[in-house]
């Protein structure tokens, strides 16, 4: 076939380094950008096959999110804007690791297994972030797409690409499949939500935003005019100078528990940080004594959950209302757990997303600030019917209209820093809450997150939604013995989904104890799970 001849020709331009093995993880492929050219070409091929199989538009996003600027990565987006299915994750790994002379065989194997008609037209949307390597790597994706039949969106945030894939595949029912369509839908919903809030001052409309020197900074600038001064943003780390995610961004703020470089806060001023591809967000502020206060994904989930619960309680026909979380979170022992259903899952957005889909309304956030709200089709129809029912009393109708605009403000396809920021700002305005009042909904135990480099992250195996380890032998016992030394203490470890590191979380009654516990558990991981490099040092 002529198509396969073109694949062979273009594959030679994007050769695979002999012996290199990569794994499609929770965030797709992610590593140093110099190792990814062949992977990008092959993911272009795979996305085209996926499009032919599903008879729908598939997305490919070139990004490494919160990783350093020298890294890059790629992930596929399925028809409704969700992560690609596990079987196709396997195909991605198979295709990426096939040696050069085996590529056509691997490709034909997927076509045969999935009974794909190569005559079927394909549609692929390709997006990229602002990394220096993203131009050439996204071109490699396009080479793969063109070798088998696609469309390039250029510079977009990861959530915008997910959104536009969903719009395209719902024939516009979810929205207009353009960046401007995204801006219009979200900004109109935000303005509708906040227009009836009495006496909003300029201080209440003001927000400091750290763009992580990434794509989110460019896109939120473009969106500002659509917001008509209903939100007044002061943008820092906008990409005009400084490296992507270096001393800034959501991951830096979350792990270091300090403000990013260049952001000077006055007491009580609301600030937020995106990550490099704008699918995570965390908030923070400085207290009157200069103490740094972080409002991470757990605090965000609590704010949104209690707001939705309050609106639903105004209806006699309220939906089942859950809140879905990963386990490494103090929020599970907060007052929230008595107000909503809390479900534990393995860490990772795809696990959270699927669990949240089981309910009429599902709120999920990882502590790192990645999350969103999902509404079932039945819940959306019920909300729309109540909002349009002229016989509904005024209070219930107002609540229904607020819910309807809340649905429109949320990017249900994936966590989205811009959408989540607008939702948080709207909720704070509607409830008349300051950032301090939000923070006081519950109190986090002092905690610390650390990373331990290991030779192979797969030596760590976990159970009980990743709350306990089953291998290597002796590690869980070592963790348990160290936890017993401290008051109100917990600690968990889990392998990263994208790199050979083990993530360590610890909490205790004081910050000193949390730091000490995190260090002791890190040492146990280093010694029992094949740590590499220097032994972890005390904080």
Residue positions forming the annotated binding site for Mg(2+): 65, 275, 277, 279
Q: Roughly what angle, to the nearest 10 degrees, separates helices 377-388 and 394-409?
A: 140
Helix (H) or strand (E) holding 234: strand 232-236
What does the CA dihedral 296, 248, 159, 69 come to, rounded to 10 degrees?
-140
Looking at the DSSP assignment, which residues form a beta bridge with residue 506?
448, 491
Looking at the DSSP assignment, which residues form a beta bridge with residue 491?
506
Indicate the pairing of strand 232-236 with strand 206-210: parallel
Looking at the DSSP assignment, which residues form a beta bridge with residue 493?
504
SS (H, E, C) 149-173: CCEEEEECCHHHHHHHHHHHHCCCC
Q: Is 240 a residue of the active site?
A: no
* Beta strand ranges found along 212-286 (DSSP E): 232-236, 271-274, 281-286
Side by side, which strands form the sheet with 490-495?
447-453, 501-507, 490-495
**Nearest 5°: phi and psi at 294?**
-100, 135
Matching residue, tokens 């104890």 = 513
CB count in 10 Å sphere of residue 522: 25
Determine whether 458 is exposed, middle or buried from the number of CB atoms within 10 Å of its CB (0-12, 13-18, 19+): exposed
Structural contact between residues 345 and 232, judged by C-beta atoms closer than 8 angstroms: no
Residue-wise burial string across 64-92, b where 16 or more C-beta atoms lie within 10 A, e elsewhere:
bbbbebebbbbbbbbbebbbbeeebbebb
Cα angle, residue 123 at apex, residues 120 and 125 outer, rounded to 5° = 160
3-state secondary structure of 190: helix
Cα distance between residue 205 and residue 339, in whole Å: 30
Tokens of 380: 């959306």
Helix (H) or strand (E) holding 483: helix 475-483
Helix (H) or strand (E) holding 52: helix 37-54
**Nearest 5°: phi and psi at 447?**
-145, 170
Residue in 356, 347, 365, 351 with CA at minimum distance from that of residue 304 = 365
Query: Which one of the listed residues 65, 123, 133, 330 is annotated catalytic?
Result: 65
User: DSSP characters for 272-323?
Assistant: EEE-TTS--EEEEEE-TTS-EEEE-HHHHHHHHHHHHHHHHTTSTTPPP-EE
Binding site members for substrate? 366-368, 494-498, 503
Residues in the chain: 539
DSSP state for residue 454 in the 8-state scheme:
B
Active site residues: 65
């Amino acid at each position: 076939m002529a198509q396969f001849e073109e694949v062979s020709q273009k594959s030679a331009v994007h050769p695979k380094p002999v012996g290199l093995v990569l794994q499609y993880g929770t965030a797709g492929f992610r590593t140093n950008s110099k190792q990814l050219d062949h992977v990008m070409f092959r993911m272009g091929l795979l996305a085209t096959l996926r499009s032919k199989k599903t008879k729908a538009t598939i997305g490919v996003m070139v990004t490494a999110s919160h990783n350093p600027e020298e890294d890059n990565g790629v992930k596929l987006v399925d028809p409704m804007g969700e992560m690609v299915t596990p079987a196709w994750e396997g195909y991605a790994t198979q295709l990426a690791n096939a040696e050069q002379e085996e590529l056509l065989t691997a490709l034909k194997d997927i076509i045969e297994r999935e009974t794909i008609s190569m005559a079927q037209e394909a549609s692929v949307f390709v997006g990229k972030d602002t990394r220096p390597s993203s131009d050439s790597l996204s071109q490699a994706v396009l080479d793969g797409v063109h070798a088998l039949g696609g469309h390039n969106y250029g510079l977009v945030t990861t959530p915008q690409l997910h959104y536009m894939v969903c719009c395209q595949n719902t024939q516009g029912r979810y929205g207009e499949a353009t960046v401007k369509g995204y801006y219009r839908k979200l900004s109109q919903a935000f303005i509708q939500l906040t227009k009836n809030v009495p006496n909003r001052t300029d201080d209440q409309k003001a927000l400091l935003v750290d763009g992580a020197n990434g794509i989110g900074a460019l896109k939120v600038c473009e969106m500002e005019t659509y917001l008509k001064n209903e939100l007044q943003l002061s943008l820092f780390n906008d990409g005009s100078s400084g490296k992507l995610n270096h001393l800034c961004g959501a991951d830096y703020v979350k792990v270091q528990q300090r403000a990013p470089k260049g952001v000077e806060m006055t007491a009580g001023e609301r600030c937020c940080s995106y990550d490099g591809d704008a699918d995570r967000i965390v908030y923070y502020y400085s207290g009157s004594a200069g103490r740094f206060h972080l409002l991470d994904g757990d605090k965000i989930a609590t704010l949104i959950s209690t707001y939705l619960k309050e609106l639903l309680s105004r209806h006699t026909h309220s939906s089942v209302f859950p809140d879905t979380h990963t386990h490494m979170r103090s929020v599970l022992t907060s007052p929230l757990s008595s107000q909503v259903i809390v479900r534990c899952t393995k860490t990772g957005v795809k696990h959270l997303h699927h669990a949240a889909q089981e309910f009429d309304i599902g709120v999920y956030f990882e502590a790192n600030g990645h999350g969103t709200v999902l509404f079932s089709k039945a819940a959306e129809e019920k909300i729309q019917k109540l909002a349009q029912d002229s016989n509904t009393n005024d209070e219930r109708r107002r609540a229904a209209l607020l819910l309807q605009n809340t649905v429109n403000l949320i990017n249900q396809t994936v966590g989205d820093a811009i959408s989540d920021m607008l939702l948080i700002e709207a909720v704070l305005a509607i409830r008349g809450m300051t950032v301090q009042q939000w923070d006081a909904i519950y109190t986090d135990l002092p905690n610390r997150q650390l990373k331990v480099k290991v030779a192979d992250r797969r030596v760590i195996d976990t159970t009980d939604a990743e709350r306990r380890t089953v291998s290597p032998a002796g590690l869980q016992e070592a963790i348990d013995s160290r936890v017993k030394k401290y008051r109100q203490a917990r600690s968990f470890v889990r392998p990263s989904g994208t790199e050979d590191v083990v993530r360590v979380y610890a909490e205790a009654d004081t910050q000193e104890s949390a730091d000490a516990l995190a260090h002791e558990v890190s040492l146990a991981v280093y010694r029992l799970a094949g740590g590499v490099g220097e032994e972890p040092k005390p904080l």
